[in-house]
Structure 1
Amino acid sequence: MSIAQFEREVLGDRLGENDQVWFPRWLRRYAMGVRNGMVDDLPVNKDSVLKFSRSLLANGAPAWQRYQAVRAVECYRNLVLHRSEPDLSSIVMTLAQLGRQERNIDLEAPPTAEELAKLRGNINRGEPAFIQTMRGEMRVLHYAMATEKAYVRWVKRFSGHVGSTKLDQFDEKDIGTFLTSLAVEGNVSASTQTQAQSGLIFFYHCILGKQLGFLNAVRARQSESIPVWFSRGEIERLLVHFVGMHRLMFLLIYGAGLRHKECRRLRIKDVCFDEGHIVVRDGKGAKDRITFLPERAKDGLKRQIEVAARFHRIDVDEGFEQVYLPYALAKKYPNACKELAWKWVFPSNQRSRDKRSGQLWRHHIAEQQFANAFKTALRLSEIPKNGVPHSLRHSFATHLVESGTDIQTIQKLMGHKDVETTMGYVHTSQVLGKSIKSPMDTLED
C-alpha cells in the first residue's frame, strides 16, 4: 500500500507540520487521477504531473496550491519510489514563482484559517458529519461542483444501502455488492456505475484514509446506442418554435457547435463581432478554442448584450457588481467584476446566493431553461425523435461533413483532443441513399 507507506514516511522531522498534513491529501488527489485510487505504486512522470497540475488549474486551484501538490508527488517519488527521476524541479520552480506573485507571502507557510474557510465555502450543517467532511475536502482539493454533487449522492445512496452512517466498518465486499445491485437491479448504464465507484473510492480513500483492493462487482453493459441528430429540415422546423433568448441560444449551439454549458457560460468579452468568431473559454478538458459566430445570430447577440448591460448597471448601482471568476483570475483581476466585459451574455433574471461561497450575485441562466424550451419545441414541431440540446451539436458536425468540411477542421471547432471523438458526432444521414444504395434498390424491376 504505497500511499499508506507515504503517510508513514512523511511523519517525523524530515517535513514540516503543514506538509505532513497536506502532502497525503494531495497525493490521494493525484492517485484518483492516475490510478483511480488503486493501492499499487503510483506512476510518476512529467506528463502525469503536468496533467495533474492542469486539472487543478481547471478547477480553480491557485498556483501556490498547485506548487504544494506537485511537491507532494515529488516527495512521494523520493520517499516511496526511491528515485530521483523524473526531474520535476522546473515545474516546481515555475509554480513557486507564480504562487509568490499571487500570494506575495512565504509559500511554505500553512494556509490561513481564512483561506481554508474560503475554499470550503458554505456547507449545510444539517447533513451528516461525514458528508460535511467530504464536501469540505472536495472543495479544498478543487473538485468541480457537479462532481461534488454526484459523489455525495452516491455516498448517501451507499449509506442507505448498508443501513448505516458508520461507513468505515464496510469494505470492498460491501461496495462490490452495492455496485452489482446498481447493474442488476437498478439497470444503470456503465458510465453511471463507474461514477458511483469513483465516488465511493474517493470517500474511502481521501476521507476515511482506507485503501481499497479489487472491487468484485457485476459490470453494467456498455451502451452502443446511436445519438440523436436532426436533418437540416428538422432544424428549421425546430427553430420556428424558439423566441427571444432561447432562439439565440439555439442559433449558437447549432450554428457554432457549442455545448449547452458553454453557451450558458459565454461572457461578453468572448464574442468577437469584428472577427466573426466566438472564443470558448475553459471548455471540456480545460481547453480554449475558437469557433463560428453565425451571421444569423449577430443581431440577436447585440440585443442580448444590451440586456446584460442593463442588468450590469443595475447590479453596480445596488452594490452587487460581483460575478463568478475562477480563484486565480479573481486574484489577478480584482476589479474585473466591475467591468461589463466579464459579465454573462445570458444572465439570470434574478440574483441568487452561490452554494459554495455564499456570495449573492447574478449568475448565468439555469440549465433547465433552455432544456425545457427545447422539449416544448420538439413536441410542437412533431418531430418523432428523443432529442436533447446536445443533439444540436451532433447535427452541427454532421452537416459540416455533408457540406464538405474536413474532419480535422471540425475537430478543432468542436474542441476534441482525439479525432475519433469527432467521428462519433458525424452520422450518415446523407451518405445512405446517395453515394451508396441498398441492394434491394439495385435489383431490376
Structure 2
Amino acid sequence: MKKINLTISKLRNKNVLVIRFAYNNEIKEHLKKLKNVVWSQTLRSFYSELSLENLRIVFNHLKKPNWTIDYIELQPFINKSKIEERRNSHLIEQLPDVYQLELQKFKKWLFQKRFSKNTVNTYVDVTTTYIKYVLLKNAEIFSTKIVEAFSYDYIFIPNKSISYQNQFISGIKKFFEYKGYSYEEIQIERPRKEKKLPIVLSGSEIKSLFNTLTNLKHKALLCLLYSAGLRIGEAINLEINDIDSKRMLIHIKQAKGKKDRYTLLSPVFVKILREYYIAYKPEKYLFEGQKGGKYSNTSAQKVLKNALFKADIRKKATLHSLRHSFATHLLEKGTDIRYIQELLGHSSPKTTMIYTHVTEPSLKNIKNPFDDLF
C-alpha cells in the first residue's frame, strides 16, 4: 500500500499544496503528468498552487488502487473554501429584482458599445459577484474602499490571477461609467504587470506534436493555429468562405479590437485542409462540433493537452503557444517584424517586439563572458 500525504506549507511567503510520499518512482512519474504540479528543491517535495480546484485535480489524479491519500491537515482549508465557493456560486436571478434589472440594462449598454459577447459576459459576471459582495457587507456600491476590500478578500486572498484582477477592474470601471461616474471620482488601481515571456515550442517540438495527431479534425485545427498564427477564437469563428485558396490567404473577420485582417494560408496546410473537408464536410463553420455549430474552445484545449502528453513535451504550452511559436519562427527566419505585426493583428509594434526576446539566433549569438575565462 502506497501512502501519499497532502499538506499545506509555505514557499516564497505563499501557502502551497504539498504532496509528500516515501520515494516511489511510479508516484513520481505519475505526478509529472500534471502540468500544475512541480518539484521544489526547497521543500524536497512536489507542490502546486493552493486552491480547491488544484486540490481536486491532484486528488483525482492520485486515486489509484493500493494508493491511500491522507489529507486530514487540509480539512480546515477545504471547509473554508467550500463555504466561499457556495457563497460565490449563486446565479444572477438570486439577486434582488432591482439589481437583476440593473445588470440586464448594463448588459444591453455594453452590447450597444459594441463589446464582444465574451467581454460582455465577463464584465457582467464580475459585476454580479461584486454586487453580491457589497450586499453581504451592507456597504455602498460606488465606493473606492469597498472596491479595495473586494479586491483583497475575493482576489488577493484566494490568490486569483493578475489577469482576473484586471478583468474585474475593467468590468467595474465600465459599470461605474454606465452609472455616470467618471474614473477620476473613483480611483481603482491596476496591479503591476507581470513581465512574462511567451512559451514557444521549437520546430522539432511542433513536428512531434503534429505527428501524434491521428484524428483529421484535430490535426487540421492545430496545424491551422500554428501555420496562420491564429488565436483559438479566430480559428473556431472561421467560416468556409473565409479560406481563399486562390490568393492563398485567410480572411479573419472582426477579431480582437473589432479588426479584420488577412493572414497566410500555407500550401502544405491546404492539403491537410482538403483532406479534412472531404472527410467531415462542414456546412458553415470550418470546424464544427458533433451536433453542428462552432467547435468549442474546451474541446480544442483537450486535443492539445493530449497531444502534448503523447509527444512528451513538458512545457506548459497552451493553444496560444502555437501562435507565439508561429511569430517566433518567422522572426528567426528573418521576416520583417512589421509584417509579423500585420499577420498577428497587433495594434502596436511593441506587442510584437516581445518575440525578439525568445528567438534562438538572437540569444545564441551573444557571447557569454564566462567562456573567456578558460
TM, length-normalised to structure 2: 0.66
**Offset of 1:140 from its aligned partner?**
4.1
CA RMSD of aligned residues (A): 2.9
The CA deviation string for residues 222-279 of structure 1, in whole angstroms up to 9 with x for no partner, is: 2112221111111111112223111111111111111111111111112111222212
**Any conservation in 2 of the 1:183–1:219 contact (CA below 8 Å)?**
no
Greater strand share, structure number: 2
Structure 1 residue 263 corresponds to structure 2 residue 223: no
Conserved 8 A contact 2:134-2:141: no
Identity level (%): 30
2:368 to 438, 441, 444: 438
In structure 2, stretches of 5+ residues that fail to align are: 1-91
Instruction: After superposition, give the CA deviation of every residue in 1:175-232 in whole Å (9 maximum; x if it has no partner).
Output: 23223445642444444323212222332332x4556654456653321122211111
Alignment CA distance shift 1:347-1:199 (3 Å): same
Residues 111-190 of structure 1 aligned to structure 2 (within 5 Å): 128-164=100-136, 170-182=142-154, 184-190=156-162
Contact 1:262 1:280 in 2 (8 A): yes
Q: CA, structure 1 residues 274+165, in 2 after alignment: closer, same or farther (shift >3 Å)?
A: farther
> What secondary structure, in the 3-state scheme, does the structure 1 residue paired with 2:346 have?
coil
Superposed CA offset, 1:312-360 (max 9, x none): 3xxxxxxxxxxxxxxxxxxxxxxxxxxxxxx21112221xxxxxxxxxx
Q: Distance in 2 between matches of 1:170 and 1:279?
A: 43
Answer whether contact 1:131 1:152 (CA < 8 A) is retained: yes
Structure 2 residue 285 is matched with structure 1 residue 344: yes
CA–CA distance in structure 1, aligned partners of residues 327 and 311 of structure 2:
22
Q: How does 1:241-390 map to 2 (within 5 A)?
A: 241-242=212-213, 243-306=215-278, 310=281, 312=283, 343-350=284-291, 362-390=292-320
1:220 aligns with 2:191: yes
Compared with structure 1, are the counterparts of its residues 188 and 170 closer, same or farther at alpha carbon in structure 2 (3 Å cutoff)? same
Q: What are the equivalent positions in structure 2 for 1:1-16 lying under 5 Å apart?
A: none
The equivalent residue for 2:172 is: 200
Q: Structure 1 CA distance, aligned partners of 2:336 and 2:232?
A: 24
**In structure 2, how many angstroms separate the alpha carbons of the residues matched to 1:435 and 1:153?**
48
8 Å contact from structure 1 (residues 229, 395) kept in 2 = yes
Q: Is the 8 A contact 1:268 1:305 kept in 2?
A: no
Q: Taking structure 1 as reference, are residues 180 and 233 closer, same or farther at Cα in structure 2, changes over 3 Å only?
A: same
SS in 2 for 1:387: coil
Deviations, residues 372-402 of structure 1 (Å, cap 9, x unaligned): 1111111222222111011111111111111
> Distance in 2 between the 1:153 and 1:344 partners?
28
Counterparts of 1:81-96 in structure 2, within 5 Å, are: none
Query: CA shift at 1:165, angstroms?
Result: 10
Q: Is the counterpart of residue 418 in structure 1 residue 348 in structure 2?
A: yes
1:393 maps to 323
- Give per-residue Cα distances to partners, 1:282-328, cap 9 Å, x unaligned: 222222222221122112222333466x453xxxxxxxxxxxxxxxx
Moved more, 171-180 or 387-396: 171-180
2-side partners of 1:430 and 1:212: how far apart?
A: 43
* SS of structure 2 residue aligned to 1:138: helix
Check 1:231–1:221 CA distance in 2 against 1; reply closer, same or farther (3 A cut). Answer: same
Greater relative contact order (Cα < 8 A, sep 6+)? 1
- Which secondary structure state, in structure 2, belongs to the residue aligned with residue 382 of structure 1? coil
* CA–CA separation in structure 1 for the residues paired with 2:125 and 2:341: 34
Secondary structure of the structure 2 residue equivalent to 1:221: coil
TM-score, scaled relative to structure 1: 0.56
What is the identity, as a one-letter code, of the residue corresponding to 1:266? L
